[in-house]
Amino acid sequence: MKLFFKQRFFSWLDRYDIYYEDGSVAYTVQGKIAWGHKLVIFDAFGNEVGLVRERVFVWLPQFELYEGGVYRGRIRKKFRFFSNDYAIECNGWQVDGDPLGWDYTIFDAAGSTVAAVSKELWNFTDTYVMDVVRPEDALLVLMFTLAIDAEKCSNQ
């Protein structure tokens, strides 16, 4: 299952549209005013289904993930020189990516691929392709992609 993640061009706060391969809307994401990033995820019908919230006043960037108001885990940046490594503390998943952090793969505890995420470089806004193996993992994969994108935007 492929999802296409595209940031809106004109927006005061972070706003993203996530599409299925056929072009229909899967999710929309709206940034909210808060200390650090706060990204609220809505399904195609406008129901709030998830939240990505940046923890502030921590040494390295961390993002908490909520699905339906329930805490699911977090993703945090690891301390590494010349590398973008992240630790996922959710479902036993791990992330492995390139040094720039634009393309990465999420694996489960058994080493099987959960999703592959790649950034399309020649666009005016942040655009990603998320190739998710199991449709039921799509929301969590989206939350990880949002967190990593927010961390990168904060450090540019």
Domain ranges within the chain, ordered by starting residue: 2-74+117-154
Mean pLDDT split into 10-residue runs, the chain, 156 residues:
77 77 93 79 96 79 90 80 72 79 87 92 74 96 88 57
Q: What is the pLDDT of residue 11?
A: 47
Q: What is the pLDDT of residue 114?
A: 96
Q: What is the pLDDT of residue 119?
A: 84
Asked if 14 and 7 count as a contact pair (C-beta separation under 8 A), the reply is: yes
| Cβ neighbourhood burial of 12 (10 Å; 0-12, 13-18, 19+) | exposed
Look up the pTM and report it: 0.83
